[in-house]
Amino acid sequence: MSNYCFGVDIGGTSIKIGIFDKIGELLEHWEIPTRKENGGENVLPDVWQAIQKKMEERGIRKEEILGIGLDAPGPVSEDGIIYGCVNMGWGTFHLVEAFQKISGVSLIKACNDAKVAALGEYWKGPCQGCGSMVMVTLGTGVGGGVILDGRIWMGANGAAGEIGHLTMLSNEEESCNCGKKGCLEQIASATGIVRIAKKFLAQQDTPSTLRNLPELTAKDVLDTAKEGDGLALEIVEYVCKYLGMALANVCCVVDVNRIIIGGGVSKAGEFLLEKIKKNFNMYAFHSCRETEISIASLGNLAGIYGCVKMVLEEIEKGA
């Protein structure tokens, strides 16, 4: 009898699902759209339907499912309560119990998406078994996960790894989505990069290709900087200054073995990485200066890997 696990990465636009064997090898992965209407009431039933369809296709019986791991872009407690998820229109509810009820599968694990992505990268990425790691996810927002002794460190309130909400600018006047002012997310997320770019464009009258673009995106800023546009380069340097400083500060607290940069913005690759490293080196405490920083390797599959790792860890604990 073979056994299977499913990893389900619930995002605001699509839901990524992966089927894994019992030793954690990914067999197949696919996506379904996220139906957010009516407070996201269809999301979990849609997930279970998609899993059932795959089980039928492969002739898998329910008893052969070891467990299912879920993640979502919101704060999730260790026992699986999600404290609201704006993207999905979800309020606070017991995500694990809800999905147990829908699926009839008893081993369900749930966690915040950025934390789970960090676990996935730790498990299958280049820092496999390195001991401790921080992953920062530069997407629409800035998320993060802290892995200590190979496990997700949740923190007392599930807020460990909220690197996007490190206060970096003490004189910022605009508010972050979290309600505070001067958060890293306001500088280094995709929306943050655009915000900073607009500020630079308004404050200076240097000519720049960026001025000709109808609707500015973070990718535009990074691509234009790569092409050598002076103002775009200045913007990217500014973003990387605070990103490097934030990561150096993270190391003063937990001093991890590795740092991983993920999320859409990280697709700028070596160009971005080299600037982050330069600034990290400048702001890091001397004994952490050599900490390795690299770009995430699993792309948008980190979530489903991390979800399944949670399930396998739970099985190991029980064994």
User: Does residue 177 touch a copy of itself according to CB under 8 A?
Assistant: no
Residues in CB range of 268: below 8 A, 6 or more apart: 219, 222, 226
Helix (H, G, I), strand (E, B) or coil at 52: helix
Site size for a copy of itself (CB under 8 A): 46
Q: Give CA–CA dist 276/274, Å, rounded.
A: 6
- Please, which of residues 131-170 interact with a copy of itself by CB under 8 A? 131-132, 134, 146, 148, 153-163, 165-167, 170
Q: Give CA–CA dist 154/47, Å, rounded.
A: 25
User: Does residue 255 touch a copy of itself according to CB under 8 A?
Assistant: yes
Residue (40 or 158) nearer to a copy of itself, CB: 158
Q: Give CA–CA dist 133/247, Å, rounded.
A: 11
Closest approach, Cβ 313 to a copy of itself, in A, equals 16
Per-residue contact string for residues 72-101; x = within reach of a copy of itself by CB under 8 A: ---x-------x------------------
Stretch that binds a copy of itself, among 89-97, 98-106, 251-259, 308-316 (CB under 8 A): 251-259
Among 241, 275, 277, 309, binds a copy of itself (CB under 8 A): 241
- Closest Cα to residue 43, out of 111, 115, 98? 98
Residue (177 or 209) nearer to a copy of itself, CB: 177
SS3 content of the chain, % helix, strand, coil (to 5): 45, 25, 30
307, 7 Cβ separation under 8 angstroms: yes
Q: Which residues bind a copy of itself (CB under 8 A)?
A: 75, 83, 131-132, 134, 146, 148, 153-163, 165-167, 170, 178-180, 241-242, 245, 248-257, 282-283, 285-288, 290-291
